[in-house]
Structure 1
Amino acid sequence: INGECSEARALPAMDAVVKVFCVHTEPNFSLPWQRKRQYSSSSSGFIIKGRRVLTNAHSVEHYTQVKLKKRGSDTKYLASVLAIGTECDVALLTVEDNEFWEGVSPVDFGELPALQDAVTVVGYPIGGDTISVTSGVVSRIEILSYVHGSTELLGLQIDAAINSGNSGGPAFNDKGNCVGIAFQSLKHEDAENIGYVIPTPVIIHFIQDYERNGAYTGFPILGVEWQKMENPDLRLSSGMKVDQKGVRIRKIDPTAPEFKVLKASDIILSFDGVDIANDGTVPFRHGERIGFSYLVSQKYTGDSAAIKVLRDSAILKFDIKLSTNRRLIPAHNKGRPPSYYIIGGFVFTAVSVPYLRSEYGKDYEYEAPVKLLDKLLHEFPQSPDEQIVVVSQVLVADINIGYEDIVNTQVGF
């Protein structure tokens, strides 16, 4: 009887899972005044409160048209995109047609699961039109690298396979509540059946950010580059006492609010009253530890945070207003076409991660010029509107004879 009850509880949630059909038109970075040939994709999504649907950002990236189909229905409903969160890989959709919302119970969110908790991923993976259910357990909870967003946020690793098309589908706990969104899998010859799920704290942050601001503003970050303080000699030379722990600031983003109060070589001892260990971790539930960037990502753009630092053996306290920092080479163009300028047949364009991916392929981190990669990984912008500009190609004409071979050359000022 208990089995039947849990089955009955989970069924309404299954009906809230929809198939997402999207037509994409990507920008053409080689010919920035054009777009590429459009293509179609299918993925998963699910209905939440407020007549809204959640899916992955990469499922509707560069969208031209989005349609949704409910389970057991033969009708595709036109959807509009309310917000796309590139960093957290979550997108929010809605449908005007009232018929779409009839007879559907929205999904309720559950708490962040514990290790070994059972999870069920529901979606529409490639290879069929009907709904698919895969089960597994939570095998790891940590700060993950989000491939689509080029960011690091809290994530769940599960041992259920997440295939193409499953993206955007909900992961349910055994009570039928949603504990996350399936979004990427590990493709490695030594690993099988490893999937990743965006957990509820990240999803709720995205939704509340949209509700507060009427748009997605992003996850704040501390605009500093830091290093661990596990070396005892380094701690001694920095004037740290035996009982003091923290991380050392190497560089600060000149465009970030922190630049006005923090200095290079400061030791960050705590963030918002939570002590930071020498390896950059903070306590997390059940005796676990997690990177302190988790505390920063829980905040919203414009929030204040109390930071305690050690400078010249003195403890200083600052209140810092957090913001979403702009990178020198942005990870995304946020749906906008690439900016370009043509003069004398020279095509100038601004460098971004999508541009590098377009020019050098998926392995751009190995194939792109070292100078550009160094700027991507380690350099901060010196002003809010600074860009790295390259001559992407030369359109051959009489005026530029002899310059035809200049490709992807950075312009110096």
Structure 2
Amino acid sequence: SARRGVGEEGQQQQQQLRVPTTPRKCQTPGSRLRSRLPSIGDDSECGQEDMGDQPGVNSVVKVFCTHSEPNYSAPWGSKPQISSTSTAFAFAVVGSAEERPSRQLLLTNAHSVKHAAVIQVKTRGSSAKVVCRPLCVASECDLAILEPVFEGGDARAKEFWDTLEPLKLARKLPKLGDDVTVVGYPVGGDNTSVSQGVVSRIDLQEYTAHGSAGAPRLLAIQIDAAINPGNSGGPAVDNNGRCIGVAFQALRGEGTENISYIIPTEIVKHFLEDFQKHGKYTGFGDAGFVAQPLESAYIRKALGMPANLTGVRIRRIDATAPAAEILKVGDVVTSVGDKADPLVPVEPRYGPEYLIVAGLVFLPLTEPFLLCEYGDNFESEAPIRLCSLWSHGQRKSADDEVVILHQVLASELTVGYHDIKCLQLAKLNGVQVKNLRQLADEVARIELEAGDESMMTFELVNGDVVVIPVKQAMQANEEIMKRNKIAKRMNLRE
């Protein structure tokens, strides 16, 4: 399972709860919502007759997911499928007469259903599984909405939902020391499990298993209730039976015990409101700049600040953020602002993209590609320039992305270029390359206008040049794809 080091010398590790649940190749991978929006469900039955009295027991379902993860190193294919189990729980989205009608849905973690090929759920005490489709998956806040698909029509749907009690979301954050009960289907058995503890801390945490530079730091609640793989997506409820959060990750390592985290209802409400308003997830806001703390009294004095004034000094601004229209490097800021995407996406909005030109494989630089190509420790394994772009790269315009020549497939046209790997593309025939779509359009234009002696000259940032004859490249594309069992020459987002 993916994990990241935290704490002293990286000995402690924080991981999303997606550890194998069987010996097979299995892995368990700011605004308030209007009070009328969600009312979230209670658990089903476990096998013990008195379990139904426990808060949340009559709301949860067990999730079975088969994952088909894209292969970012060979983007025309996928990795071998893996299976996982996790937890989800029932809630109801209530719409007004002018909006969409009330309907019941399931809430779980995004990592539990990420890259899902098939999702099934079953209620407590039932052996029948129901297929679900993901309505919205938001890796940034690790939440997902599932909608069951019933083959038996309304009667089967009624039977399914009659066994579940929608939970209600708590209207405010819990207090330190408040009791909490976590309900779910962790490893170690098939029945519902209940663990109890207290709220230990409320703080900001990174919401991705891999601690990337672009990972968001969102509000999280630390609890000491035991949470294990399989608990992912299960509700954490208070003594009144209200959901105060969703189980999603835990701290593992020497000297740690029962340090678990839940996604608070403030984050859940924002996610649900976003989905109801836009029909999809659009994200959380971001300041759009990087700042230097002004803890030193000397730097505050040098900046001409009064002794009692606090703030941060702007040291870098995202050119695509609204902040760029107001702030300048060197400004001192005491309030925060808006949203912008990183140059190298942490979680691309689309599947793997690529373009093949006579055996030259071009693709955009993304964090999933770095993880796939170089592993969890890609910060130390990947080329320094790629890591620098990943951690510090900034867009100059909204459509900027880093395009790399990932690999060179063998052919007569690519003799002498086979050692080139994972280098950033700068220009094609003197034209600056801004993104993969623009590169594909430029290649198509060159092919359309090509004469017998026309060439494509690809300039790489390290100074290397790759020259390919256009007519021969057009003729060789089909044979190269057939030899490498590639179905499509390109895969680009719409």
Structure 2 counterpart of 1:207? 272
Structure 1 counterpart SS, 2:168: coil
How far off its partner does 1:344 sit? 2.5
- Return closer, same or farther for 1:245/1:12 CA change in 2, 3 Å cut-off: closer
How far off its partner does 1:177 sit? 1.3
How far off its partner does 1:107 sit? 0.7
TM-score for the superposition, normalised by structure 1: 0.82
Structure 1 position 21 matched with structure 2 position 64? yes
- Return closer, same or farther for 1:238/1:58 CA change in 2, 3 Å cut-off: same
Structure 2 counterpart of 1:244? 309
Q: 1:116 aligns with which of 177, 184, 195?
A: 177
Q: Could you tell me which amino acid in structure 2 is paired with residue 113 of structure 1?
A: P
Structure 2 counterpart of 1:4? none
Instruction: Please tell me whether the aligned partners of residues 12 and 104 of structure 1 are also in contact (alpha carbons under 8 angstroms).
Output: no
Instruction: Please tell me whether the aligned partners of residues 12 and 105 of structure 1 are also in contact (alpha carbons under 8 angstroms).
Output: no
Tell me the percent identity: 44
What are the equivalent positions in structure 2 for 1:69-148 lying under 5 Å apart?
69-97=122-150, 98=157, 99-110=159-170, 111-148=172-209
Rounded Cα–Cα distance in structure 1 between residues aligned with 2:51 and 2:301: 62
Rounded Cα–Cα distance in structure 2 between residues aligned with 1:354 and 1:249: 30
How far off its partner does 1:197 sit? 0.8
- Return closer, same or farther for 1:9/1:41 CA change in 2, 3 Å cut-off: closer
Structure 1 position 228 matched with structure 2 position 293? yes
How far off its partner does 1:187 sit? 2.2
Structure 1 position 363 matched with structure 2 position 411? no
Structure 1 counterpart SS, 2:276: helix
Structure 1 counterpart of 2:329? 264
What are the equivalent positions in structure 2 for 1:179-218 lying under 5 Å apart?
179-218=244-283
How far off its partner does 1:339 sit? 0.9
Q: Structure 1 regions of 5+ residues with no counterpart?
A: 1-6, 272-319
Q: Structure 2 regions of 5+ residues with no counterpart?
A: 1-49, 94-103, 151-156, 428-494
Q: What is the root-mean-square deviation of aligned Cα atoms in Å?
A: 1.8
Instruction: Please tell me whether the aligned partners of residues 75 and 353 of structure 2 are also in contact (alpha carbons under 8 angstroms).
Output: yes
Q: 2:341 aligns with which of 322, 326, 330?
A: 326
TM-score for the superposition, normalised by structure 2: 0.69
What are the equivalent positions in structure 2 for 1:37-56 lying under 5 Å apart?
37-50=80-93, 51-56=104-109
How far off its partner does 1:104 sit? 2.1
Instruction: Please tell me whether the aligned partners of residues 233 and 248 of structure 2 are also in contact (alpha carbons under 8 angstroms).
Output: yes
Structure 2 counterpart of 1:57? 110
Select between 149-158 and 232-241 the one with higher mean Cα deviation: 149-158
How far off its partner does 1:147 sit? 1.5
Structure 2 counterpart SS, 1:13: coil
Q: Could you tell me which amino acid in structure 1 is paired with residue 67 of structure 2?
A: H
Rounded Cα–Cα distance in structure 2 between residues aligned with 1:124 and 1:198: 18
User: Which is greater in Rg?
Assistant: 2
Q: Could you tell me which amino acid in structure 2 is paired with residue 35 of structure 1?
A: S
How far off its partner does 1:11 sit? 3.4
How far off its partner does 1:256 sit? 0.8
How far off its partner does 1:361 sit? 0.8
Q: Could you tell me which amino acid in structure 2 is paired with residue 342 of structure 1?
A: I
Structure 2 counterpart of 1:403? 417
Rounded Cα–Cα distance in structure 1 between residues aligned with 2:240 and 2:382: 48
How far off its partner does 1:106 sit? 0.3
Runs in 1 of length 4+ with deviation above 6 angstroms?
Answer: none
Rounded Cα–Cα distance in structure 1 between residues aligned with 2:299 and 2:238: 45
Rounded Cα–Cα distance in structure 2 between residues aligned with 1:407 and 1:117: 54
Rounded Cα–Cα distance in structure 1 between residues aligned with 2:225 and 2:313: 39
Q: 1:412 aligns with which of 404, 417, 426?
A: 426
Instruction: Give a deviation string over 1:280-331, Cα, whole Å, max 9, x none.
Output: xxxxxxxxxxxxxxxxxxxxxxxxxxxxxxxxxxxxxxxx6x3x41110001
Rounded Cα–Cα distance in structure 2 between residues aligned with 1:161 and 1:169: 12
Q: 1:170 aligns with which of 207, 225, 235?
A: 235
Instruction: Please tell me whether the aligned partners of residues 250 and 264 of structure 1 are also in contact (alpha carbons under 8 angstroms).
Output: yes
Q: Could you tell me which amino acid in structure 2 is paired with residue 238 of structure 1?
A: L
Instruction: Please tell me whether the aligned partners of residues 159 and 194 of structure 1 are also in contact (alpha carbons under 8 angstroms).
Output: yes
Structure 1 position 35 matched with structure 2 position 96? no
Instruction: Please tell me whether the aligned partners of residues 83 and 210 of structure 1 are also in contact (alpha carbons under 8 angstroms).
Output: yes
